[in-house]
Amino acid sequence: MNRYSRIAGTGSYLPEKILTNKDLEKTIDTTDEWIRTRTGIERRHIAAPEESSSSLAEHAARRALKAAGATPADVDFIVVGTTTPDLVFPNTGTLLQQRLDIHGCPAFSLETACSGFVYALSVADKYVRLGEAQCALVVGVECLSRFVDWTDRATAVLFGDGAGAVVLTPADEPGVIGTHLHSDGKYQDLLYFPYGVSKGFDTLRNNSMDGLKMHGNEVFKVAVRTLSRLVDETLAKNGVERGEIDWLIPHQANLRIIQSAAEKLGLPMEKVVVTVQDHGNTSAASIPLALDTAVRDGRIHRGQLLLLETFGGGFTWGSALVRY
Ligand code: ACO
pLDDT at residue 237, rounded to an integer? 97
**Which among 114, 122, 143, 111 is positioned nearest to 45, based on CA atoms?**
143
Mark out the alpha helices in the chain (DSSP H runs): 21-25, 32-39, 53-68, 92-99, 116-129, 153-156, 201-205, 216-238, 255-265, 276-279, 286-296
Q: Whose CA is nearest to atom 9 of ligand 1?
A: 154
Torsion sign, CA atoms 260, 266, 270, 272: negative
Find the residues whose C-beta lies inside 6 A of ligand 1. 30, 34, 38-39, 114, 153-154, 157-158, 191, 214, 216-217, 219-220, 223, 251, 253-254, 281, 311-312
Give the 3-state secondary structure of residue 300. Answer: coil
C-alpha distances out from residue 18 to 46, 74, 117, 170, 263, Å: 6, 34, 23, 38, 31
- Which value, to the nearest 10 degrees, does the dihedral of the CA atoms of residues 127, 104, 95, 275 take? 30
DSSP 100-160: TT--SS-EEEE--GGGHHHHHHHHHHHHHHTTS-SSEEEEEEEEGGGT--TT-HHHHTTB-
pLDDT at residue 210, rounded to an integer? 87
Instruction: Give the bridge partners for 161, in sequence order.
Output: 143
CB 263 within 8 A of CB 250: no
Give the 3-state secondary structure of residue 162. Answer: strand
Q: What is the pTM of this model?
A: 0.97
Q: Which of 28, 42, 191, 254 to mutate to test the pocket of ligand 1 (most atoms within 8 A of CB)?
A: 254
- Which value, to the nearest 10 degrees, does the dihedral of the CA atoms of residues 166, 169, 172, 177 take? 30
Per-residue pLDDT of the chain (324 residues; tens, 9 = 90+): 799 999 999 999 999 999 999 999 999 999 999 999 999 999 999 999 999 999 999 999 999 999 999 999 999 999 999 999 999 999 999 999 999 999 999 999 999 999 999 999 999 999 999 999 999 999 999 999 999 999 999 999 999 999 999 999 999 999 999 999 999 999 999 999 999 999 999 998 898 888 899 999 999 999 999 999 999 999 999 999 999 999 999 999 999 999 998 998 889 999 999 999 999 999 999 999 999 999 999 999 999 999 999 999 999 999 999 999
281 is catalytic: yes
103 is catalytic: no
Check 59, 114, 143, 279 and give the catalytic one.
114
Angle at which helices 53-68 and 286-296 cross, to 10°: 30
Neighbours of 264 (CB within 10 A): 17
In angstroms, what is the span from residue 203 Cα to ligand 1's centroid? 27
C-alpha distances out from residue 16 to 22, 45, 144, Å: 17, 7, 15
